[in-house]
Every structure is written in structure tokens, then in C-alpha cells.
Amino acid sequence: MTTVEEATKIVLAETKDYGTESIYFENALGRVLVEGLKADRDFPPYNRVTMDGIAINFDAFKNGIRSFKIIATQAAGETTFEINDPSECIEIMTGAALPCTTNTVIRYEDLEIKDGIATVKTEAVSKGQSIHLKGIDKHKDDLVAAASQVITPALISIAASVGKRDLLVKQLPKVVIISSGDEVVDVDEMPNAFQIRRSNNYTIKAVLQQYCINADMIHIPDDSAITKQQIENCLQQYDVIILSGGVSEGKFDYIPKALEETGVKKLFHKVQQRPGKPFWFGKHGNGVLVFAFPGNPVSTFMCLRRYCCLWLEESLNVSKQKIYAVLDEDYVFTPVLQYFLQVKLSMNERGQLLAKPITGNGSGDFANLIDTDAFMELPLKRNSFTKGEVFPVWSFTPGGQW
Ligand code: AMP
Ligand code: MG
């Protein structure tokens, strides 16, 4: 049987660049920036006053002058006024450009203003204070945001500041999610006594939304002809097909056969893992990738996170650092399968990430997912794991932050 390590290698060998597109920057949150952003001018672009008060020439203060005649008031956005004599000052507002004839700003709190004269009440004035110097943060043409990063609110702010209205981002693959099974009905239908509502397809859709992918969804009954026909259609329209259910050994699990009959080459079927052992992965001659997960909700979720999200992050060139956590309880698992233990993460006072096992009732127990944050990947070749040991964890949130 394919090991987790082999399966990972096979999946990652299929990483693919889906190209780029230019989109309006306000719509770019969560997308992957392809180009680096450069400063279109110095940051700040002029000597920016950072306090409301007066602008003076510091030499005057050094020479003992404490009262300055206000000869003009300059608001932010106005052209500068200039002083003609060291005993003069400009009353000035935060955000205004510093007049060339001044070099120091004294805030209102340190002044007394009467009859057009500002008197300084403090001796604690230093040359150049309360001025954000032109170009001190970035020079024109400096890189202000590196390429290959997920667009965050801070990056949107930088794009706005440098006048970058359209951003070049990675194009996303077109994805369809196919659920299957005669026993599963849609959310607004009333299931009969032997049916359940389908949920996996919505889980997958929600996870993909976190990468800004808006996947389509279809459902197919346990019928071999319909299964084949629907897969054939999808192979013409999408880059990636994600299936949930129908890949095990059941009499009505038609999916692996239908995939092979429609020209999807099996790259592996069954991985030495729990949950998610029946996972099927393949590729069509036209490049379409097929992730076919077992229908048990925890299995689907684990395979999606561990393989599909990893593949997507690599394809988008935003793969993240692996995260490790400290097992917080002894744990025993005897089957010869690589176990993905559901854990609740927390941080202790020494800054260590702790993983507390919360096992639930197996791969059908999707309610347990809500109480956990990650899967801890326990090594295949061992049965018992001791509190304090460190293992990799796969956080449920994309990008690996927990
Ligand atoms: P299967 O992999 O088709 O044998 O399904 C395994 C289990 O997962 C069965 O109990 C199914 O009812 C359940 N299941 C399959 N598809 C879904 C789905 N879309 N949402 C929730 N449960 C599902
Ligand atoms: Mg089924």
C-alpha cells in the first residue's frame, strides 16, 4: 500500500501553475501576489509634520528665543509657508509638509498662544522633533511588498499608497466538488429514516473559499452510468475534480472504475493511513487532477487538508513552514497505519504549542472536528507515543496558523 510519504510525493509532483490575472486591488484580499510592489515615490514623500503645533528653526530656540510670532497657519495638504526671521513660526497641522525654513515642530501641549505669539513652556525641545523625514521609510523604487505572498489588509493598504490599482495575482484552478451516495440528501431536504444530509461537499467548498476558490458542486447517485457521464462532463470543464465518497470496496462504490474508464490514470489508490485509507488520486491525459476521498467526513477533511491544500499551496507558491506541537497526553495506536490524531492546540507559558488528543468516535464523527484544531501526524512505525514528544501538526486553517 502507498505510504503517506509516497502519496505526498506523488501529489506534489503534480503541482501546477495556472497562470496569472490582473484584478482590482480591493478584490484581491486572500489572493497570491505575483509581482513585487515598488514605491512610486519616497515614503513619506515630504518631511511630514507629526504633531499639531508650530514649526520653528531650532537655532532660534538654542539661542534663547522662547516666544515666536505666528506669521501663517498651514493645514495638511497646503503649500508651505516660510518664515523670514528666526523669531517667527508657522502654526502647523499634522500631515502638513514642513516649511524649508524650519526644522523643528513644537506641539500645542508645550505652548501657550496669545495674541498671535506662541510661547514655549518647556525646555525639552530637540532639533528635528515631530517630523517624519522624507524617504526615511522607503525610497522611490524600493520594494515595498515582495512577490509570492498572500494579500493581506496591510498589503491592500500599500497597494493603495503606491497607486497600484490593479494587482497581478495567481490564477486559481477551476474546481468541481462531486458528492455521491443515494443515502445523502441536500441541506434543505428532509432525510428519511435511512438518509443523512450531505455535508462533505460544503466542508470542501468552505476550505477552498479560504483560498478564494469558488468551487462548483454536483451530486451523483450510486449509479455507474450517471457516475461515468458526470465525470466525463467535469473532465472537460474543470482543472481539478474533488470527489467525496464511493471510492471504497462497497458494491456501489463506482467511482474508481468510472474514473479509469473516462481516461483518468490512477496514480495511487489506498494510503497506509487512518483516517482516509481508501483515498484515490489520479490524472487525466488533459491534465485534470482528481482527488477522490472516502466519504466519511473526517477522512474527507483530513485528506483535503493533508494532500489537496498542500498541493494547492505549492501550486500557488505560498507553501508555509511546517508546524510542530508537543503531544500533551500519552497515546497508543496499534494498527500499522500512519495515524492522524485529532488534537486541540494551545500555547503554554513557555511558548510551546501543545496538542491535546480529542479522539471522538472515528472517521464518521464529524461533530468532533468542531472541538479540534489540527491533525497530529504520528509516525507509522510506532504504537505508543509519550506525552512531551514533538510531532508535525496540520492545522485546519490554511497557511498553518492555528
Ligand atoms: P462512502 O465513502 O461512499 O462509502 O461513504 C462513507 C460514509 O460517508 C457513509 O456513511 C456515507 O453516508 C458518508 N458520506 C458520503 N458522502 C457524504 C457527504 N457528502 N456528506 C456527509 N457524509 C457523507
Ligand atoms: Mg457512498
**pLDDT tens digits for 329-366?**
999 999 999 999 999 999 999 999 999 999 877 777 77
Mean pLDDT over 48-77 rounds to 98
In this prediction the pTM is 0.90
**pLDDT at residue number 399:** 53
Q: Is the Cβ atom of 103 under 6 angstroms away from ligand 1? A: no
**pLDDT tens digits for 231-241?**
999 999 999 99
Where residue 400 falls among pLDDT bands split at 50, 70, 90?
very low
What is the CA(295)–ligand 2 centre distance, in A? 6
Please name the residue ranges forming H helices in 221-305: 224-237, 255-261, 297-303
| Nearest ligand, measured from the Cα of 181 | 2
Mean pLDDT over 314-318 rounds to 94
| Nearest ligand, measured from the Cα of 182 | 2
| Nearest ligand, measured from the Cα of 177 | 1
CA distances from 223 to 180, 253, 275 (A): 9, 9, 26
* More confidently predicted of 319 and 223: 223
> Please, what is the Cα angle at 303 between 15 and 317, to 5 degrees?
30
Residue bearing the CA closest to ligand 1, atom 3: 245
* Ligand 1 mutation target, pool 176, 187, 200, 269, most atoms within 8 A of CB: 200
pLDDT at 223 over 90: yes
Q: Is the Cβ atom of 181 under 6 angstroms away from ligand 1? A: yes
Largest CA-CA distance found in the chain, in angstroms, rounded:
97
pLDDT at 325 over 70: yes
* More confidently predicted of 396 and 126: 126
pLDDT at 35 over 90: yes
Gyration radius of the chain over CA positions: 31
**pLDDT tens digits for 302-313?**
999 999 999 999
Q: Is the Cβ atom of 195 under 6 angstroms away from ligand 1? A: no
Among 369, 385, 387, 384, smallest CA distance to 304 is for: 369
**pLDDT at residue number 398:** 63
**pLDDT at residue number 152:** 95
* Ligand 1 mutation target, pool 255, 296, 304, most atoms within 8 A of CB: 296
Peptide bond into 379 cis (omega under 30): no
Instruction: Compute the CA torsion angle 81, 87, 92, 97 (nearest 10 deg).
Output: 50
Cβ density class 188-200: b for 16+ within 10 Å, e for less? eeeeeeeeeebeb
